[in-house]
Amino acid sequence: MRAIKRIAFFASLLIIWEVAVRVSGVSESLMPAASRVFEELYIGFSDMTLVYDLQASFKRLFIGLGIGVLIGASLGVLLAKSKTADETLGMLVLALQSVPSIVWLPIAIMWFGMNEISVIFIIVLGATFVMTINMRMGIKNVNPLYIKAAQTMGSTGLDLFVRVIFPASIPYAVTGLKLAWAFAWRALMAGELLSTGPGLGYTLRFASDFGNMSLVIGVMIIIGTVGSIMDLLVFQRIERNIIKRWGLEN
């Protein structure tokens, strides 16, 4: 039933879009009809251009996201376990978290040039800080009863962390991973706008430069669709399993 509602909703939007553009007679360079956008997408996938763009974008994304999650999780553990680090480095992390990824572009270009490393650098920054904050919260919010119970059974140090603290913080870590993905995906698009190789962001800028509004909107649809698919098919399933396994259901 939910799927039918969603299909009907988006089908209605496409029909309204198509009719509104054709009735208003607006220029295609400003707002193309839905049929023209999907025709452009069909051409892009048929000649494999958009397929190569997706492959290049996902390659950068997974490299940057992997590095960002590892760094962020490590920093989160450090901030949660060290009061000094939390009061000093923690303030810096909070400040950097508020800086949009696109702001780092000039620095990335000056340091690394307009290449793959610059884009991955932007992605890492987009994922690291949000993962750090959620990992820190997860460890700090572990129920003290779990820790005391484990300690009475002789668990201390690394064993306590591995067996009790880290597993108890998994729900926060999953939330951090979900947010890290979202921030990394946005950072990727920002970074690729100034890249020189294949990628969705590069194609978006290329289409904009040549006034191909149909392809611009088409790429935007792809970006939004990928985000929705990842959330529905990956993260929502993981979250449901975590909620069920950790007994967090209401």
Angle between helices 213-230 and 34-46 in degrees, nearest 10: 80
What is the pLDDT tens value at each position of the chain, 250 positions in all?
Answer: 777 888 899 899 999 999 999 898 888 878 899 999 999 999 999 999 999 999 999 999 999 999 999 999 999 999 998 999 998 999 999 899 888 888 888 898 899 888 889 999 999 999 999 999 999 998 988 888 877 887 888 777 787 888 888 888 888 899 899 999 999 999 998 888 877 778 898 899 889 888 899 999 999 999 999 988 888 888 888 878 887 776 655 5
Residue 16 class from Cβ within 10 Å (0-12 exposed, 13-18 middle, 19+ buried)? Answer: exposed
Q: What residue spans define the domains of the chain?
A: 36-245
DSSP string, 50-98: HHHHHHHHHHHHHHHHHHHHHHHHHHHHHHHH-HHHHHHHHHHHHHHHT
Structure tokens at 220: 């935007």
Q: In the 8-state DSSP scheme, what is residue 82?
A: -
Please state, in angstroms and rounded to a whole number, the distance separating the CA atoms of residues 190 and 125.
12
36-245: CATH topology: MetI-like fold (1.10.3720)
